[in-house]
Amino acid sequence: MANRKYNIKKIILLVLLLGITVGGGIAYYIFNMPHIDVQAQKADYTVSTTALVSEYLQDEKLANEKYLGNEGDSKIFVVTGTVKSMDINLNNQKTVLLQEDADKAGVMCVFMAETNAHAAEIKIGEHVSIKGIIRSGANYDEDLELYENVLLEKCDLVKE
């Protein structure tokens, strides 16, 4: 009887150890997967800030179906528009807001550490094209009574 309890404990311990090992291996694999090199890929869409913002404000679900893949990953965009403002975020990444005067919201482009220098070439009021991927779409926040911008990440300036 004591031998049987010992064997059951031994089996449970081995299954637990195996589960931890497999789970750790999967986590290690996912963490070290190569990230998509947005700038090396061909753009899936070239769109104006006005068109992109309008699509999200009209029907966010439909826009997400169009612009996001099956697993929620974004297509690659080249967004063209007028630079309304520029800033640096808490991660020391340059941000550029593309927005036309008549639009309710714009496209906030967040550059990467590797592409920050390219953002320095941009001037407010200039018409530019920026390549990146969508993190979130434009919408209206009823609590704050404000429009939220489309958020584009992993951005770089497209040289024309």
> Same domain for 66 and 145?
yes
Give the count of beta carbons closer than 10 Å to the beta carbon of residue 139: 17
Q: What is the DSSP letter of 113?
A: T
> Same domain for 46 and 62?
yes
> Same domain for 115 and 99?
yes
CA–CA dist 127, 98 (Å, integer):
9
For residue 124, what pLDDT is reported? 92
> Same domain for 5 and 46?
no
CA–CA dist 85, 128 (Å, integer):
13
> Same domain for 109 and 151?
yes
Residue-wise pLDDT tens digits, 26-49: 887 777 655 666 666 787 889 999
> Same domain for 108 and 95?
yes
CA distances from 25 to 13, 15, 127 (A): 18, 15, 47
Q: Which residues contact 131 (CB under 8 A, 6 or more apart)?
A: 38, 39, 43, 76, 77, 78, 79, 155, 156, 157, 158
> Same domain for 72 and 134?
yes
Instruction: Summarize the confidence of residues 144-155 as an average pLDDT.
Output: 86
CATH of the domain at 55: 2.40.50.140
> Same domain for 107 and 137?
yes
As a whole-number percent, the residues of the chain with pLDDT over 70 amount to 89
For residue 6, what pLDDT is reported? 73
> Same domain for 21 and 92?
no
> Same domain for 88 and 140?
yes
Torsion angles phi and psi, residue 33, rounded to 5: -60, 145
> Same domain for 42 and 94?
yes
Q: Are 120 and 94 in contact (CB under 8 A)?
A: yes
Tally of domains within the chain: 2
The boundaries of the domain holding residue 4 are 1-33
> Same domain for 29 and 87?
no
Residue type, 141: D
Instruction: Summarize the confidence of residues 105-112 as an average pLDDT.
Output: 91
For residue 78, what pLDDT is reported? 92
This prediction has a pTM of 0.72
For residue 72, what pLDDT is reported? 59
Query: Which segment of 5-14, 24-33, 133-142 scores lowest on mean pLDDT?
Result: 24-33
Q: Which of the four pLDDT bands, split at 50, 70 and 90, describes residue 160?
A: low
